[in-house]
Each structure stands twice: as C-alpha cells, then as structure tokens.
Amino acid sequence: MTLTRRKMLKGAALAGPAALAAPSIAHAQEPIRWRFQTYAGAALGEQVTKPIIDYINANANGELEVELFYADQIVPTGELFQALQRGTIDGVHSDDDSMASPTPLRVFGGYFPFATKHILDVPVLFNQYGLADIWRDEYAKVGVQWLSAAGQDPCNFNTKKEITSVSDLDGLKLYTFPTAGRFLAQFGVVPVNIPYEDAEVAVQTGELDGMAWSGITEDYTVGWADVTDYFLTNNISGAWIGSFFVNQERWAELPEHLKSVVMAGIEAGHTYRNQWYWGGEARLRATGDKLELRSVPADEWMQVEEAAKTFWDEIAQEGEVHQKIVSIFREYNSVINQAGAPYTNG
C-alpha cells in the first residue's frame, strides 16, 4: 500500500503542472488586424513603408497583423485622412499636404519651401524644436493619433526640358505637391494633380513636362528617370516632411506592448530611410546614367529663395498655429545659417 500511495502522489505531481497549464493554451486569441495605406506606390513603398510593416508583423508575436496597401489602392491619396478618421483605414504613412489634412498643418507637410536643408533637419525640428507637440495636439483635435515624423529626400526637378535658368520654369507642367505647386506658380509652373501611379505615363503622353516631387533616388526607383532627361540640382526644399498616423480609437485599443512594437518599427524605418536616401542621392548624381544634371547659378536661384521668405510671411498670417510653426522654422534656419557648413550646404 505504501508503494501504491507513493506512485499515486508522484503521478499527481507530474500531472499537476500540465493540468494547470492546459487552459491557457487551449485557444489562441485572434490577432488584431489593421489595414495600412501609404502615399507611395509599390516600387517606392518597398523602401519607405514596407520595412516598418514587416518589422511590426515580425515582432508582434502574432498579436497584431498589419496589411499594407500602396498609393490609391483603397482610397485616393487625397482621401487618406477622411478614410483614417472614419476607420476605413487603420493606419497611414503620408505627408499632411498630400492627404488633404483638415488642420493648419496641411501646408507644412510634404515640401514647405526652403524650410529644411537636409534629411536630418526634420527629426531635429520635431524632437528639439517642438513640432512633435504641435502635430500631436492638432491631430488629437480631429480624432487621429499622430505617431512620428521623419525626413526623406529633397524636392528637385526631373524634366524633359533643360532648366538652366529660373525663366525655364515658366510654362512647365509639373506633377508636384499642393503647397509646392502654390509656391512655384509665381514662376510660371503649372501644377498638375493626378494619381501618383499615372505620373510616368503622363510624361510620355505630354500631359506632364516632369516632376517637382522628389530627389534623384526616387526618380530612379519608381521609373521616372526612364521617361525624363534632366535632373535639376537646385531644390525648393531640402527634405520631405511626412508622418505616420493611426485611427485614434484603434490606437487606444492597442495594448501598451504592441504600441511599443509599432513605435520601434517606425523608428527603425526612419533610420533605414535616412541612409537609403542620403546614399542614393550621392551615388546616383555621381554615377547614374539616365538623367543629365543641370543647375541654375546660385546667385540666380537666390531669387527663388527670397520668394520663399515672402511666402512664409503670407502663410504666417493664416492663423496662430501657422505663425507658431513659421517662427520655429525661422529660429532653426537662423541657427543653421550661423553654424555654417555642413548644415547649410545644399
């Protein structure tokens, strides 16, 4: 009987932990699923958005699954904000300008003329000069969670026609951002608003003379270097300002550890894009064989930079938030101008 009792106790001890563990693994919880759309087409999105989504999906332990859609696949880019606000889309990567943000921030997204010199200016402006707080607060007012902003490439011109003088801009039909188009119109540029993926064909059909949309890295990546002939080294802004956004309710529902995964993926993506663009701009200017480089003399291009100062004054008059952001840009540009090279090198 003693032996039998010992066997019974031993068996119970072995069975106990397994019995206790069984209920917790019986049924796996369904993952949270998000639909996420980027402003970028598939070729560009592979570099600027997909690495972030891949990181999240790989590190969320099956608890969060994000499906990525490229430019205009669920809704047109100009309707991204509305779709995000009503929950048709759960997350967005875009600039405020392209997605028609109904906030005072719209005009500053994308390429605000001459606000930046280089890609790293954007995170500095957001993290050291207070833009992050402004963006977070303004989007909270309209039911959207702003997560993070970063820089990308400068806004140069790739065209069918040579540009060697400011006067050569006159009459050019260019695919560009709303605010950039508004600024460039004073030099005779005709801004054309079409879906992102239609721009390449529009150059071939003559509807466009080119783009004022990106640096040379994107021109080669998305195929625009195959349909245009010249790249203007002068730019109207040193870095694109774009952000990651999430529907406010979906973000509130997300557990804290998954919020950390999302933010870690976004920050890792920022680091990747910094080197991808910075290295690409240099390599393709130096060794690219599809676009011939052209430049407007610096003293002549100065009239475009001077026009930006007037443009800033006009924007600052549009509201209190506008004035505050323009003041930050002025403060930062004063600092880098005093610092000199390499901060002010174009």
What confidence tens digit (pLDDT) does each residue in 212-263 have?
A: 999 999 999 999 999 999 999 999 999 999 999 999 999 999 999 999 999 9
pLDDT at 21 over 70: no
Q: Residue 29's pLDDT is what? A: 82
Confidence label for 199 from pLDDT (cuts 50, 70 and 90): very high
pLDDT in tens, 54-98: 999 999 999 999 999 999 999 999 999 999 999 999 999 999 999
**Residues in the chain, how many?**
346
Tokens read off for 232: 């203007």
| 210 φ/ψ sector (left φ>0, alpha ψ -120 to 50, else beta) | left
Sheet hosting strand 210-214, strand order edge to edge = 190-192, 173-176, 210-214, 156-159, 230-232, 292-294
pLDDT single digits (tens) 283-341:
999 999 999 999 999 999 999 999 999 999 999 999 999 999 999 999 999 999 999 99
**Separation between Cα atoms, residue 156 and residue 154, nearest integer Å:** 6
Q: Could you tell me which of 332, 337, 309 has the C-alpha nearest to residue 183? A: 309
Rounded to two decimals, what is the model's pTM? 0.89
The structural domains of the chain, ordered by start, are 31-346 (3.40.190.170)
- Could you give the 3-state DSSP secondary structure of residue 244? strand
Phi/psi of residue 173, nearest 5 degrees: -90, 110
